[in-house]
Structure 1
Amino acid sequence: MSKRKTLAAVLLSLALVLGGSVTWLFGTNDKAVAQQVDVWKSASCGCCGGWVDYMKKEGFKLSVQNTEEMDAVKAKHGVPEALASCHTATIDGYVIEGHVPAQDIRRLLSERPKARGLSAPGMPQDAPGMDGNTGQPYQVYLFRDDGTREVFARH
């Protein structure tokens, strides 16, 4: 093998080792991987559009469908009435109901619990996509097919 080919092989090996070490030490950028989110919302809901814009800025790829049949969408995806909000989304087999922060969705996808999905019920004023700056805390719930739920995150 020529010196040039040997040097190229050594440099390539070194780059692969160093690149893997950097990823191992510092992790990967979650925003770098665009994941598909399918969203159903009312065309007249401004805060839903705010959440869609927020999720795009967080690096997610969104497909948005406007519908006036939100009750049917929620029923189809198994969203309990007590956890309902203004829009419904799905990602990688999970349901996302309402203004759930991107960090909670990333955690859900990382941990992969046996669950139907996450919900930020109602209209939490300080949640992503809302215009509030009230300092009011809100909770995100993990909900399951059997009707049980638990607090997944506090904000």
Structure 2
Amino acid sequence: MIGAMAKAMRDTSAAGLLLVSLAACSTAAQAASYTMYRDAGCGCCLDWADHAAEGLDAEVTAENADMQTVKDLHGVPANLRSCHTMIVEGYVIEGHVPAEAIRKLLREKPQDVTGIAVPGMPVGSPGMEQGDLKQPYQVIAFGPKGQRIFASYN
């Protein structure tokens, strides 16, 4: 009888620990922190950061960073570069990437992707709004296996 009670208490404790662990993981996924590098004189970067921070906690914003060096260190291909670079959960986010694409990346966690990028500064992308003007653009995933379209916005 005592052995059965001890086993039941042990099983209950293990289940409780599992639930607490799952809750902690869920909270951590919702509150991912990021580091954003940008030139202090760039206004669109702050507009984009407000958009992109949806569900993320800002950890550091490095202003006046040597952006060329930041992009080189994080492996951003020259053809995908834009005005700001963010690092979140080990992934590189380059340029005016929509928050929904960032959430998709963090949810799916593809192993062959270093990051995602919106090259240049397309009109209508987050942070580059110009009223009703919108330019179609793509979010490009990049990594050791090359580049591919991650999402398209028209």
TM-score bin, normalised by smaller chain: 0.7 to 0.9
Determine what percentage of the aligned residue pairs are the same residue.
Answer: 44
Letter of the 1:131 counterpart: E
TM-score normalised by structure 2 residue count:
0.75
Q: How far is 1:96 from its partner?
A: 0.3
1:141 aligned partner = 140
- Equivalent in the alignment of 2:121: 123
In structure 2, distance between residues paired with 1:110 and 1:59: 12
Runs of 4 or more above 2 Å deviation:
none
Q: How does 1:3-152 map to 2 (within 5 A)?
A: 33-56=30-53, 58-62=54-58, 63-113=60-110, 114-132=112-130, 133-146=132-145, 148-152=146-150
Amino acid at match of 1:95: V
Gaps (5+ residues) in structure 2? Answer: 1-25
Q: 1:44: how far off? A: 0.2
Q: Deviations over 1:96-117 (max 9, x none)?
A: 0001111101111111112110
Report Cα offsets for 1:31-83 as digits up to 9, x if no partner: x9221111000000000011111123x13112211024100100010000000
Letter in 2 for 1:111: E
Distance of 1:125 and 1:112 partners within structure 2: 28
Considering fraction of residues, name the structure with more strand.
2
Number of residue pairs aligned between Structure 1 and Structure 2: 125
Q: Over aligned residues, Cα RMSD in angstroms?
A: 2.0
Q: Secondary structure, in 3 states, of the residue corresponding to 2:34?
A: strand
- TM norm structure 1: 0.75
Q: Which runs of 5+ in 1 are unaligned?
A: 1-28
